[in-house]
A and B are shown apart, each in its own frame.
Chain A
Amino acid sequence: MTKQAAPKSNRQRLHAVRVLRDRVFVTGFVLAIVIGILGLAALLFDVLIDGLPSLNWNFLSNYASRKAEQSGILAPLAGTVWIVGMTALMTIPIGVGTAIYLEEFASKSRFNRIIELNIANLAGVPSVIYGLLGLAVFVQFLFNGSRNVTAGALTMTLLILPIVVIASQEAIKAVPSSYRDAAYAMGANKWQVVKAVVLPQALPGMMSGIILALSRAIGESAPILIISSLVWVTFVPTSPDSKFTVLPLQIFTWISQPQHAFRGIAAAGIIVLLVVLLSMNGVAIWIRSKYQSRPEQ
């Protein structure tokens, strides 16, 4: 009798241990997520507490100043608008064009496989390397030492191009091939199919990818730091060959100031930057969810 009960209780104990282990580890897994979210919350609180007192209309409309309380972000804000605008003008046609070529026109030849592999590798190149490329090719070779907005935008274009291409390819792949077949059956040629069927269908997906890529360009500072080492810009860029600064670069400059008063200004700049980026991400997510009702395959 006792001999039979013993192994059973052993098994029960083993079972209890296994269940306990399950519970303990699930707590650990939840904790991982909680730490991530707490980290995000701490970051946002840190920035808000430091920055909100300095955030007012003067801050948005003043130029950078040697006195923290008179400093503003007009110049970097305008510089960011210039950079993003010019980057968008160049990136969208080139990026979407590359994606259309790879998905719709290119044969699966060795050369086109190399292009795809190359784009995947470019997406992993550190941004500071793009800064070196821009410094040597655009600033020194193309513009003869002038650290202007165009050099910055060209560099940013190369930096976010892989992201735009990959996102656009995904959007094109999601268009059902039956749509293309229907257009071909009516005698359309390849370009007509792309123009009238593929592009309109893939547009929302491309848009959300492009917005996310542009928000990456807004937040990126390392390449701009190398391109435009000038840090006290007190004017709004007026033409593509103006000197410039951008938001993250100005924030970096303020963080590097030894005076503690500039911390608050830096944090206020971060709030502006985050508001811009989060609203762009929000728009991208909204576009994606609004048009995600996929046509039945």
Chain B
Amino acid sequence: MAITSEIESNQALLARVARRRRRQHVEQNVVTWLLRTAALISILTTVGIVIILVAQSAGFFAEVSVWEFLTGTEWAPLFSPQKFGVLSLVGGTLLVASIAGVVSLTLGLGAAIFLSEYAPERLRRVLKPILEVLAGIPTVVYGYFALTFVTPILQSIFGQDQVIVFNALSAGLVMGLMIMPMVSTLSEDAMVAVPRSLRDAAYALGATRFEVSTKVVIPAALSGIVASFILGVSRAVGETMIVKIAAGATPNLTLNPLESIQAMTAYIVQVSLGETPQGSLEYKTIFAVGLLLFVMTLAMNIVGRWVISRFRQQYD
């Protein structure tokens, strides 16, 4: 009697354990399924972006030839006769992005060399967070800064009649300041990864810090530096608010940075702010410009990451 009840209670216990195991197994399967769904959302986002941009642009390219779009140098979709030469927008974007690229590469690389090769650890710990504050400031604030602070300075340097209130130089300089911490952080990461022994070898031969930096560290970290520059310029190409606020709304294919231009992003925002009816040709232009912008930045980002992985020196 006692033995059978013990066996029964053992069987009940086993059954309970088995039930719990099954429940845990089901729970894990449900969770796995939920997590996989979450991961799929990122894929859906990309698919959504591509479908929307391509589908809406298709309506535009049915009326305007791709050739006319990509090679025309006049952009006047809101006036008649309409002109759909996107090159004047691309030119404006590239002008601002080049200025930003030069500024951010000069400042960012200089800062990275100092932080990685010269600065004592304590100074580095103070300087780095200060620079990173720059990366956290909203772009609309940079736009305000460009318009109300940098442009008046430029006007007093080059003359009021030379510098238009909305100009490419002011936007480019401020954008360079914004991107500088990104270039500096990525370059410094690449430099810090260069092994100590390479530096020591050069110091043992009597090299100065500058010689170690430029002849040993920079060549060894070049892939990271180049990639940081490409990713920084890609950021500049996609930037919206600074160019919208400070660089103007005049599609203008020019190399003179003191003139007013219109960047691709600024055009997209300008049209969405206006009363352009949905479905009209003008409305579709923002998706065509958006598609080109998407392709440009995607290409730069892919090249940037490819440079990092392809040319990374492996040290062990």
Contact = CB atoms under 8 A, between A and B. Distances in A.
Nearest to B127: A33
Given A40-B133, A105-B35, A190 B28 contact: yes
Interface stretch (B142-150, B195-203, B250-258): B142-150
Given A22-B208, A266-B144, A273-B141, A36 B177 contact: yes
Given A105-B32, A137-B48, A219 B148 contact: no
A227 B128 CA distance: 35
A92 B81 CA distance: 49
Contact of B210 (A21, A115, A122): A21
A194 B175 CA distance: 42
B107 A35 contact: yes
A: interface residue count bin: 35 or more
Contacts, number: 256
B15 interface: no
A124 B297 contact: yes
B56 interface: yes
Interface in A104-148: 105-106, 112, 114-115, 118-122, 124-133, 135-137, 140, 145
A115 B39 CA distance: 7
B160 interface: no
Given A25-B210, A42-B149, A98-B35, A161 B45 contact: yes
A191 B28 contact: yes
Contacts of B240: 126-128, 221-222, 225
A256 B143 CA distance: 11
Given A225-B273, A252-B241, A285-B129, A126 B265 contact: yes
A246 to B, nearest CB: 10
Interface string B268-298: 1100110000100000001100100110011
B211 A18 contact: yes
Contacts of B129: 285
Contacts of A212: 136
A158 B45 contact: yes
Interface string A242-270: 00000010011001100000010011001
Which of A120, A136, A212, A270 has its CB near the most chain B CB atoms (within 10 A)?
Answer: A136
Nearest to B300: A124
A229 interface: yes
B265 A136 contact: no
Interface in B193-237: 208-211, 231, 234-235, 237
A129 B293 contact: yes
Given A125-B297, A132-B287, A133-B49, A29 B111 contact: yes
29 contacts: A26-B210, A29-B118, A32-B106, A35-B107, A36-B111, A40-B130, A47-B141, A93-B38, A98-B41, A100-B35, A101-B39, A121-B46, A124-B238, A124-B298, A128-B240, A189-B25, A190-B32, A191-B27, A218-B138, A219-B136, A219-B138, A219-B141, A221-B138, A222-B240, A222-B269, A251-B140, A277-B136, A281-B133, A281-B136
Interface of A: 18-19, 21-22, 25-26, 28-33, 35-37, 39-40, 42-43, 46-47, 50, 93-95, 97-98, 100-102, 105-106, 112, 114-115, 118-122, 124-133, 135-137, 140, 145, 158, 161-162, 165, 189-192, 212, 215, 218-222, 225-226, 229, 231, 248, 251-252, 255-256, 263, 266-267, 270, 273-274, 277-278, 281, 285
Given A32-B111, A36-B184, A270-B144, 10 more contacts: A18-B211, A21-B208, A22-B209, A33-B131, A40-B137, A121-B298, A130-B49, A161-B45, A221-B241, A285-B129
